[in-house]
Amino acid sequence: MTLQSFSSLHITIIVTDASIKKDIATSISHVYICNHPLTKIVHHAVFVTSTEAELFAIRCGINQACGKENVSKIIVITDSIYAAKKIFDSKSHPYQLHTMAILSKLCQFFTINQENSIESWEYSSCFNWRLHQAVDKNSKLFNPQPIFPNKISWDYYKKD
């Protein structure tokens, strides 16, 4: 299915991953159109959950995909389908800020054409798929060197 998707100019594939080391989350999104990388996005955040980091990576990828003309289908490939399902969860949860931003972009995407679609595919890291390996490798490369070695120093700095 991925090979078929890579042959179309109207399908965007977003591959995401997140990892957390020393309380610093790394969110990675690689966005592809017609087997060509459109963009690679890397973000770092302090004291966030892995679900929040995954949602942020998905959010960044969807923002990039919705910004391209002629895209009619978005495929989000993640190793955390739980996070992707949170996007469409209407119950109150701590990730609503991200889900609202994603849904706002998707609303614009579907307003352009009601035939547009989005899919979420779960992919396990153990399958060693080339695109996911690149994202996974990038998420684990980051070696954080915190300026403030612990939360107490950070809190003190914020007060100061």
Say how many Å lie between the first and final Cα of the chain, rounded: 54
Pick the closest to residue 74 from 82, 84, 148 (CA basis). 84
pLDDT in tens, 14-31: 888 888 887 788 888 888
Indicate the pLDDT class of residue 160, thresholds 50, 70 and 90: very low
Q: Is the pLDDT of residue 7 over 70?
A: no
pTM: 0.76
User: Domain 2-159 has what CATH class?
Assistant: alpha beta
Q: What is the pLDDT of residue 108?
A: 93
Q: Which residue has the higher pLDDT, 48 or 149?
A: 48
Q: Is the pLDDT of residue 13 over 80?
A: yes
Angstrom distance (rounded) from CA 49 to CA 103: 20
Q: Is the pLDDT of residue 153 over 90?
A: no
> How much is the average pLDDT of 37-41?
83
